[in-house]
């Protein structure tokens, strides 16, 4: 097996810019940091997605945003409208929150349809969907059923958390989600991956993406351990959540 490279780690990170108190300058700096460190994507507040998309032109970093965030209680028609707007604004990966209330109520037909409609409009545009469970509110039986539904609907990722619930990703949840998702459905951790050692740990569990605000610290440590030169970046990280 070939040794792991810097890109093996940087392309696991979705740089999170979702805190509501981030200024436009902080959002712009966050996008520039994401390009400098060559991460997988920037997950940004929906209103700034079009500008984010413009800032990422010429890079390999994907512009992404949230749908039904953070509580998942929007009506399905609103989630679909959000997805359509995000696609118009240049979004290539959409992180949607399930209807947590309906999951806990056991209304699985509603849950399936809610997820299916967002996936349908996004996949029709050739883009990708991450489905957020918000595991801190759920029992294992809910998480397993959601993994099964997302697999059947061909979701691109299942994701632990918004980063704004009572807790984020746990090793137990990541193991459970990988176990109960088909190989074609990837797993994303959000909330709690704050250092390079934890990034290594979740990678070993089969996680391919992590929502993170401590991107710079994690990847600086990664480069140090790989004996690579430091990346010079002047400006704030625009860190927001996770």
For every residue of 49-115, DSSP letters joined together read HHHHHHHTTTSSPEEEEEESTTT--S-HHHHHHHHHHHHHTT-SEEEEEP-HHHHHHT-HHHHHHHH
Please state the φ and ψ torsions of residue 91, each to the nearest 5 degrees. -65, 140
Candidates 121, 210, 229; CA nearest to 168 is 210
Candidates 5, 1, 3, 35; CA nearest to 17 is 35
Candidates 94, 105, 187; CA nearest to 139 is 105
Identify the active-site residue in 79, 127, 143, 188: 188
- Residues in the chain, overall count: 242
In angstroms, the CA 211 to CA 106 distance is: 28
Identify the active-site residue in 14, 95, 114, 156: 95
95 is catalytic: yes
In angstroms, the CA 171 to CA 238 distance is: 27
In angstroms, the CA 177 to CA 189 distance is: 10
154 is catalytic: no
The alpha-helical segments, DSSP class H, found in the chain are: 6-10, 24-37, 49-55, 76-88, 100-105, 108-124, 140-152, 171-180, 196-204, 215-225
Identify the active-site residue in 130, 159, 173, 216: 159
217 is catalytic: no
In angstroms, the CA 149 to CA 107 distance is: 13
Query: Catalytic residue positions?
Result: 95, 159, 188
């Amino acid at each position: 097996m070939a040794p792991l490279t810097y890109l093996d780690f940087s392309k696991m990170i979705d740089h999170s810019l979702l805190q509501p108190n981030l200024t436009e300058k902080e959002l712009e700096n966050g996008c520039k940091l994401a390009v400098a460190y060559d991460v997988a994507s920037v997950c940004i507040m929906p209103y700034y997605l079009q500008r984010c998309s413009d800032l990422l032109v010429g890079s390999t970093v994907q512009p992404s945003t949230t749908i039904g965030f953070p509580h998942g209680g929007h009506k399905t028609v609103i989630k679909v409208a959000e997805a359509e707007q995000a696609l118009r604004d240049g979004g290539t990966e959409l992180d949607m929150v399930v209807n947590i209330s309906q999951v806990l109520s056991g209304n699985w037909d509603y849950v399936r349809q809610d997820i299916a409609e967002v996936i349908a409009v996004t996949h029709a545009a050739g883009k990708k969907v991450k489905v957020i469970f918000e595991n801190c509110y759920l029992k294992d039986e809910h998480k397993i059923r959601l993994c099964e539904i997302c697999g059947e609907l061909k979701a691109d990722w299942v994701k632990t958390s918004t980063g704004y619930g009572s807790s984020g990703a746990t090793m137990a949840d990541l193991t459970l989600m990988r176990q109960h998702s088909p190989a074609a459905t990837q797993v994303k951790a959000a909330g709690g991956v704050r250092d390079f050692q934890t990034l290594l740990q979740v990678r070993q569990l089969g996680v391919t993406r992590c929502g993170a605000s401590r991107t710079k610290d994690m990847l600086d440590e990664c480069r140090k351990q790989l004996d690579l030169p430091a990346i010079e970046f002047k400006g704030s990280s625009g860190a927001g959540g996770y």
